[in-house]
Each structure stands twice: as C-alpha cells, then as structure tokens.
Amino acid sequence: MSEFNTRIIKKVQTQSLTSVIYDQLEDMILTGRLKPGERINESKLSAQLEVSRAPIREACRQLEKHGMVQILSRRGTFVANIAVSEVKELYDIRASLDALAAEKAAVHATPEDLDEFRNILKNMHEAIEADDAKKYFQANIVFHRTIVRISRNRNLESLIEGIYNKASLCRKTNLLLSERMSISYRQHKYIFKAIEAGNPMEASTQMKHHVIEARDALLNTLDSADIDRDDLVRELAPR
C-alpha cells in the first residue's frame, strides 16, 4: 500500500508540474515570446526549470491537442503556424460558437455579471485612450471569455477555448491600431447592450456581425498588402 501511495503522489506531482509548464508555455506562445514556427527546446527548458523532460513533453502533447504546437517525429516540437487558408474556417467556427455564447449569456447574465462587463468595457476604453494595444487585447480576451463563462455551458466553454488559443497564434497586430480598437470597442458595447437588455437574438446577431467583420477586415488587410493567401499568418486573436 505504501508503494502504491508513493506512485500516486509522484503522479500527482508530475501532473501539477505539467500544468504549470503548460501554463507557462501557453503564455509564452500567446504573448509572442515564442514565435510561430519556433522550436521549443526541451533540453534548455529542462535545465532552466531544473526538472526532467517528461512533464515538458506531456505539456507539449497537451498543447498539440489544442492546436498550439506541432510535434514532428525526430525533429522536435514547434509553435504551430496557421495558414491563411485556415483563417476563414477558424472565424466561421468562432462566429457560430461566439454567437451561441452571447445568446445564452443574454439569458443567464446576473446584475453582478453586468457589472463585470462594465468594468471590462471601462478597461477597453482606457486602453484606447492610452493607445495601449496590449492592454486592449487583454481586456478583449477577458470580455469574450466572460461571455462564454456566463453562457453556463461547459461543453461550449471547452470547445471554444481551443478555437481562441489556435486563433491567438496568428494575431495580426495592425488590427489593434487605434482605429481598429475603436471599431472593436463600439461593437463590444453593442453586444453588451443586447446582453444587458436580456435580448438573446440581438446578442447573437451583434456577436456574429462582430466576428465576421473582424474576419473580413483581416482578409482585406492581407489582400491590400498583396500577401499570398497560402502564406502563413503570424498573428490573429479573439477580438
């Protein structure tokens, strides 16, 4: 029995360590410290963290399941690239899932939830005033994930998180310039007003319009820059 308990404890410790490493790698990918196509050096991480390579490999396997890295036989683990041809597919999925989340959020939102949205929108506005794209991006992510959480649908939350993470791999920074932030902020206000009014259909419609407009803005940007649609998009985020 003692030996069994020891094995269980070691397994829990490894799982906890894997979770910590997963969170760190995810943050490094989403913030751009690890670039699309960049190799994740397991040996270097193992030495830096003073841990074995096993929890690092397990964290990478979990990241691969979410589409954030690619594990190539005999070559290693690389931060995933998102082909431009995938962008429309990702946004089409996002439009449907986000619209459903907004619809359900309009039904389930409490006064406390609405206050939370007001604080997020305040942060967004402050970011625009300060021309702080990073702060706006962070508040934007919180806004969308709050809607998903308030939808009270755990399966939806699980499905959409993977889409958000994969989309974040190719965040197009020029979409977060002041003009784009202002447009995005206005659209978020429309979504909030519909949720605040308890209008599921309007919330769904506004959300779908928001996501599709963001998709079209990105594709138009790629066209105007004369970028081949088969090239790899470096950055794109939940907007």
The CATH number of the domain holding residue 193 is 1.20.120.530
> What is the predicted pLDDT for the residue at 177?
58
> Where does the pLDDT of residue 202 fall: very low under 50, low under 70, confident under 90, or very high at 90 and above?
very high
Domain that holds residue 13: 2-79
Strands 82-83 and 232-233: antiparallel
Tell me whether residue 238 is in a domain. Answer: no
Q: Pick the residue with more confidence: 212 or 225? A: 212
Please check the confidence at residue 217 and state whether its pLDDT lies above 90. Answer: no
91 plus 52 within the same structural domain: no
120 falls within a domain: yes
For residue 175, is pLDDT > 60? no
As a whole number of angstroms, the distance between CA 189 and CA 185 comes to: 6
Domain of 49, CATH number, reads 1.10.10.10
Query: Is position 211 within any domain?
Result: yes
Q: Are 206 and 191 in contact (CB under 8 A)?
A: yes
151 and 91 within one domain: yes
Q: How many distinct structural domains can be found in the chain?
A: 2
Among 58, 79, 100, residue at a domain's last position:
79
Instruction: Find all residues with CB under 8 Å of 190, minimum gap 6, and list them.
Output: 206, 210
User: In the predicted model, what is the mean pLDDT of residues 137-154?
Assistant: 92
Is residue 6 domain-shared with residue 44, that is, in the same domain? Answer: yes
**For the residues of 25-79, what is the DSSP string, one character each?**
HHHHHHTTSS-TT-EE-HHHHHHHHTS-HHHHHHHHHHHHHTTSEEEETTTEEEE
- Residue with the larger pLDDT of the pair 197 and 47: 197
Burial class from Cβ neighbours inside 10 Å (0-12, 13-18, 19+) for residue 67 reads middle
Residue 53 pLDDT greater than 70, yes or no = yes
- Asked if residue 95 and residue 39 are part of one domain, the reply reads no
Q: What is the CA radius of gyration of the chain?
A: 20
Give the model confidence (pLDDT) of 147-165 as tens digits. 999 999 989 988 898 787 7
Q: Are residues 67 and 88 in the same domain?
A: no
Q: Which of 33, 61, 79 is the last residue of a domain?
A: 79
